[in-house]
Structure 1
Amino acid sequence: MADSPRTITAPDRTWLVALAAALWGTDGILRAPLAGALPAATIVFWEHIVPVLLLIPFVPSAVRAFRRASARDRLALVVIGLGSSALATTLFTAAFALGDPVTPLVLQKLQPLVAIAGAALLLGERLRPAFWMFAVPALVGAWLMAFADPFDVEVRAAGAALLSVGAAVLWGFGTVLGRMVSANLASRDVTVLRFAIGLVGALVVLWVQDAPIAVTAAQLVPLLLLAIVPGLIALVLYYIGLRSTAASRATLAELAFPATATVLGVTVLGTSLSATQWVGLAVVAVSVTALGLSERGRSPVVRAPAELS
């Protein structure tokens, strides 16, 4: 699974990845109220069943594409669907029920670091020692951001942070695998297969947790919006952009997600951040942004086996 990534020849679509990431940032204003009223498994089930129903006309061609794909790509698609889609979203939703609505979203700023590390493992990219100059401050900043008092951590807050980091890791590797399979499969097929395979995983989680499927009429509208806006629409745009966007630029563009989420969390959801949390947010933002910018310079901290831009 260490094949060299394909050379990008299409026009760069960093702006499209950024737009998709900004749509992900609207997730919190829809998920937070639902997380307090519904089990995580129920919410995740609706997040998958709605897109699958909307994409039914494209399912047959996606299945054919899956059958034609290599064993490596099929395995990657299964991991994306079950892990990065169903399980990661379940962890992310459960984090909302344990902590505040900003912490799970802002901790997703660690995802670019995970994605670059995963690219080194799966795509053959080599990390320079300077990589840790960005990674360590980002991890420290994430700890400051996660807790109002970083030296007095409650078990409840720690649980929310742990679930959020787990989701970030799964989504980070999902990004790497998505880039890998996008070299051989159409963006539409990748999107359809992610939701379809993820639906299987969501059904398993629903069964294991014995969670209900039925929701109230008042809950249906935010569930539909959650499934369509930061779900289906965002992923369609993301996979289209990912096909022709270099990893370094995509990583930088994905910062639109936590940036949008934090602004909405403070302004719309009425949450507040302590002084150390603001410091943590700044440290994470600067570290991850600097990491993305360094990849566009003459001496990137990640050396790809093939030129991407």
Structure 2
Amino acid sequence: MAEARTIRTDRTWLIALAASMWGLSAIWRDPLAKQFPSVAVVFWEHVVLVALVSPWLVGAIRAVLRASWRTRVSVLVIGAGSSALATTLFTSAFRLGDPITPQVLQKLQPLIALLLAALLLGERLRRSFAWFALPALVGAWLLSFPDPFAVGVTNLYAAGLALGAAALWAAGTVLGRAASAELAFTQVTTLRFAVGLVALAVIALVGDTPLRIGVGAAGSIVVLALVPGLLALLLYYRGLRTTPASRATLAELAFPMTAALVGVSVLGGSLDGSQWVGFAVVLASVVGLALHERAGERPAVAVSDRAEDAIPVRR
């Protein structure tokens, strides 16, 4: 029954679409990160986001208060960690180098998410999953560095920030799937932004970080909040409700692919030959996984697509 449902309801493609929209954020985030503190940029981004989702806020709070303890903890980690702290680390990474590196160094995120999905959600991977996961990880590595066998110290330092964000985002993928068993996708999105805003205010207060930004930055902040923020996450959590986390985390590799294209075409970056090979391998792996899970007789992830069926509620 679960496998038959996979063919009809899998939305791996929707996760990939949302992740592609995240990759567009460099167009606006890169110049902002060079002018203002990272916490300030992400704080005002969340202010706009909370204003946009305010009509759903009261209902979302009521829903999470009625939910299980697991869902409440998931929402707190998603908001404070995956939304606030991870985005701050990610924005900080732009200060250390070119506009491509901070975004493509996400290759450990799928591994972390796969481990968490198995431990926390009981997702089971068939052997066929390796045909998509291994090439995707190799492709992500090739895409990350001009010379994949010679990584400099500067790149490693930038990678530390990017991979810290990746670990938090991986947790957000798995816990977002868990929260979707009890909350609507609009509620998860709303709570993510609201909890994230509170966490950012605390981070700014503890770190004595000035939150003032120039009026000229307002337009970029609003666009960041609307497109890679609200629209992308609404699509993401809609897809995650009917897409196992193990599958979703590979689809999220559409993020570094889009980021690489943006870096080359808009921000003046460049890719070497091996990086273009990596780009093609990641693209083929993500598209192949989406097609396989939607139309294959035996899905690579052996779990019900519907979060409420796959994840029992524990109060």
Deviation at 1:66, TM superposition (A): 1.6
Hey, what does 1:100 align to over in structure 2? Answer: 98
**1:267 matched to which residue of 2?**
265
CA distance in 1 between counterparts of 2:191 and 2:145 reads 37
Equivalent positions of 1:237-248 (< 5 A) are 237-247=235-245
Residue 223 of structure 1, CA deviation = 1.3
Residues 110 and 138 of structure 1 are in contact (CA less than 8 Å); yes or no, is this contact kept in structure 2? Answer: no
Q: 1:56 to 1:10 in 2, by over 3 A?
A: farther
In 2: Cα distance, 1:21 partner to 1:268 partner: 18
Structure 1 unaligned segments of length 5 or more: list them.
none
- In structure 1, the residue matched to 2:311 is none
- TM-score computed with the length of structure 2 as normaliser: 0.83
Q: Is residue 197 of structure 2 the alignment partner of residue 199 of structure 1?
A: yes
Aligned counterpart for 2:221 among listed residues 206, 220, 223 = 223
1:66-215 residue pairs with structure 2 within 5 A? 66-108=64-106, 110-128=108-126, 135=133, 138-215=136-213
Deviation for aligned residue 1:248: 6.3
Say whether 1:303 aligns with 2:302.
Answer: yes
Residue 63 of structure 1, aligned match among 61, 64, 70? 61
2-structure distance, mates of 1:157, 1:237: 32
Percent identity, please. 58
Map 1:43-58 → 2, pairs under 5 A = 43-58=41-56
Cα deviations across residues 89-139 of structure 1 (Å, max 9, x unaligned)?
111111111122112222336544433332111111234567566555544
Moved more, 127-136 or 28-37: 127-136
Q: Distance in 2 between matches of 1:255 and 1:146?
A: 12
Partner AA of 1:39 in structure 2: P
1:303 maps to amino acid: A
Shift of 1:168: 1.7
Query: How far off its partner does 1:198 sit?
Result: 0.8
Structure 1 residue 40, shift from structure 2 partner: 1.2
Distance 1:107 1:251 in 2: 14
RMSD value, Cα: 3.0
Distance 1:153 1:27 in 2: 25
The whole-number CA distance in structure 2 between the counterparts of 1:184 and 1:64 is 12
* 5+ residue gaps, structure 2: 308-315
Structure 2 counterpart of 1:42, which letter?
A
1:257-280 residue CA offsets vs partner (Å, 9 max, x unmatched) = 333222222111121012333334
Q: Deviation of residue 159 (structure 1)?
A: 1.1
Name which of structure 1's ranges 17-26 and 293-302 shifts more when overlaid on structure 2: 293-302
Give the 3 Å change call, closer, same or farther, for CA 129–99 of structure 1 in structure 2: farther
Q: Is the 8 A contact 1:9 1:244 kept in 2?
A: no
Q: In structure 2, what is the Cα distance between the partners aligned to 1:307 and 1:227?
A: 29
Distance 1:136 1:162, change over 3 A: farther
Distance in 2 of aligned mates of 1:178 and 1:270: 35
Quickly say closer, same or farther: Cα 1:46–1:181, change in 2 above 3 A: same
Cα deviations by residue, 1:158-180 (Å, 9 ceiling, x for unpaired): 11122212212211221111111
How many positions carry a matched residue from both structures? Answer: 303
In 1, Cα distance between equivalents of 2:47 and 2:222:
10
Amino acid corresponding to residue 182 of structure 1 in structure 2: S
For the residues of structure 2 that align with 1:51 and 1:217, how far apart are their CA atoms? 18
